[in-house]
A and B are shown apart, each in its own frame.
Chain A
């Protein structure tokens, strides 16, 4: 998700740790491990895209003592609901009706905004009797792009139950039988086929079936195929051969093999395993076969000729349609709204629940929520030279603020890196960063004070009561002015109750090599360097990988203490402290480097 500068992303190493484990048996492993230690995190690595998350998206597993990103949690669906009408849909309905809203919620097939039901009746003259004015035919219309179902010739009689009405109307207003009626009809046809095979053959080749004016609608095709395969499955299912409901059919290979299996018990299991019963394919229209129809293609070409390019759909519009064969604007159907889910999350390694929202749709509270930001320090970065711009001002008016999108190359810029500690124990921080950033534009980065302490997250009031006035003064001093402290190596910039800020000096690199300075290379080699220097998109974004290691002493958790006490035979382990340590990579996006001087 695009975030404005400056931003901080946290890296979850779940993928790396998962892939490293299986390779540990290899002979080359020690070398690899060393390499792993030496390697710095590269935010430009394509794989990094998938391991970087903002802090709000991270959870923390208290049992594994590790951050858990969306990749290393497993999700379980609590319930389904329609995002438009906010009604919960029971899971049985999901299985039968699919994951779309079956009420009146539809999205515009052109622009995806939600559609509203309107009346075609012209607004009546205001009268005294309040009938509500809901009369006449209705239609779905898009409030954004003004597409409406009238464009495809569909009107509704009622303003409710749009889904049922829409299922019966083909584009152009032609009424088609509902799925239930269709099913009945299909059953009838099949019965007829079964009764007289020769008649069925003739029926299949009837001119009406062979040359339909338009392809059968997708739902009909699907229901035909679905019914066909269901019948095939029931034939192939290894049910009890002596079951009275099952008529043994020797023409079916599956039932034949089943009967054979009755007599050869030894080979039966093997055979079952390695050879699934072959299934017949659909071979008639009632079974869901679609014969190729050249007239349809001709019609499509003709439509392209007459209506032109604007008559066709864009790929996204096509993808949103439920029927994959939609090609032209007049074939569009309103899209039933996709349902959304409420999901709980579990740690993938230890299966503990990390987050569990309340199951009620309208509730936004959580029963369980183990957040990453309650366990690992928040890193925030901002330019030192400017006061914090008020977010209530438009960017153009607040021009005195620092422009993160225009970092000048070669000019040392100071950033203020603040770490705030959510833990109730003071932590020791060690920061590390590669001195030059990876990628084509090499910027130099120096953390002025890489080792420091951050105070515990104690009660706010302790701080406010003890040093309320001095704190205000301290924050004021960070503003540019006469009292600005000097940037000094090895010293922290400022600190507060549970936060400490240090200075980050960045010399943004040059986007283009300086002309006339070809690194002492020959002309041809310099040209090659030039070619390599062709910038890709977002190569001018300055992202700084920072390795953060935190150390702290914490009260031993009760169960751990009990375990330790049992191990060491100590009874009075109360107040025992435990040294803990955590480390992770972060990426600070500080801005964009401008091209020319």
Chain B
């Protein structure tokens, strides 16, 4: 959980940068901040709606096993490092009705995930190095594994499992191909590659998004 750093002297920018390097837009609508975890260097763009208030009502079995997590507020959205949530996205933890009551489940988004503009996400888990195009809808309880590319305007149905290395498109989503072996490897080989230069972008889809995060300000 990251609180905006108060000692930052320049408050007039679009983004509030936290100690761990998270950039959160001033125009983002975030509810239930106590239940949201950002991993660091993560970007939350303008008009993003993070529904942290929809948290699990009963303690999750995993947290009850670990003693110290008793008093901590329940996590509803946890986002990894260098993940970019683009403008106009809605991130909403999945819910289902069980025994007469609505239960919300914590959702997890991994590292280096790019979520395109105007996408709605209710997946239970999104692993790392995933590229989600613009205008997608990911229905509740979908599981997206590593190295997946979701083409723009895809609708991923509820409970779908997308295995790693797939390219997914369509309404409803189906696996239309595989990402190549070079998925997420930037051109310059090791070490950041084409720093700020090549073609104007130092990042590739599914790769390390640090350069992209650095460029957003």
Contacts and interface: CB of A to CB of B under 8 A. Distances in A.
Interface of A: 1-2, 53-59, 81, 83-86, 111-114, 116, 123-127, 133, 142-145, 340, 345, 355, 364, 366, 369, 371-374, 377-378, 380-382, 387-388, 390-395, 397, 416, 418, 420-422, 457, 459-460, 463-464, 471-472, 475, 478, 494, 496-499, 501
Interface stretch (B3-11, B32-40, B60-68, B186-194): B186-194
Given A364-B145, A364-B146, A420-B193, 13 more contacts: A53-B180, A57-B181, A81-B163, A113-B160, A113-B173, A123-B97, A355-B181, A364-B165, A374-B189, A392-B84, A475-B196, A496-B194, A496-B198
Contacts of B194: 378, 418, 420, 496, 498-499
B51 interface: no
A460 B191 contact: yes
Interface in B21-47: 43, 45
B201 interface: yes
Contacts of A377: 187
B157 interface: yes
A364 B127 CA distance: 11
A354 to B, nearest CB: 8
B199 A380 contact: yes
Q: How large is the interface on B (under 10, 10 to 19, 20 to 34, 35 or more residues)?
A: 35 or more
Interface string B182-211: 110101110111111111110000000000
Contacts of A475: 196-197
A116 B159 contact: yes
Contacts of A114: 157, 159-161
B100 A126 contact: yes
B185 A464 contact: no
10 pairs of A and B residues whose beta carbons are closest in the complex: A380-B199, A57-B180, A56-B182, A56-B180, A392-B86, A378-B187, A143-B158, A113-B157, A144-B157, A394-B117
Contact of A83 (B86, B87, B161, B215): B161
Contacts of B216: 390, 392
B172 A1 contact: no
A106 to B, nearest CB: 12
B37 to A, nearest CB: 21
24 contacts: A2-B151, A55-B182, A57-B181, A58-B180, A84-B161, A112-B172, A112-B174, A123-B97, A123-B98, A143-B158, A144-B158, A371-B185, A373-B187, A374-B189, A380-B198, A380-B201, A392-B87, A394-B86, A394-B118, A416-B199, A418-B194, A420-B188, A420-B194, A422-B187
Contacts of A84: 161
A382 B199 contact: yes
Q: Could you tell me the dominant secondary structure of chain A's interface residues?
A: loop
Given A56-B179, A123-B97, A471 B185 contact: no
A77 to B, nearest CB: 14
A499 B118 CA distance: 34
B66 to A, nearest CB: 21
B82 interface: no
A398 to B, nearest CB: 9
Nearest to B197: A496
B114 to A, nearest CB: 7
B113 interface: no
A414 to B, nearest CB: 14
B86 A422 contact: no
Contacts of B201: 380, 388
A218 to B, nearest CB: 24
Contacts of B175: 83
Contacts of A471: 195-197
Given A86-B161, A391-B86, A393-B86, A420 B172 contact: no
A516 B191 CA distance: 58
A171 to B, nearest CB: 23
B73 interface: no
Contacts of B192: 460
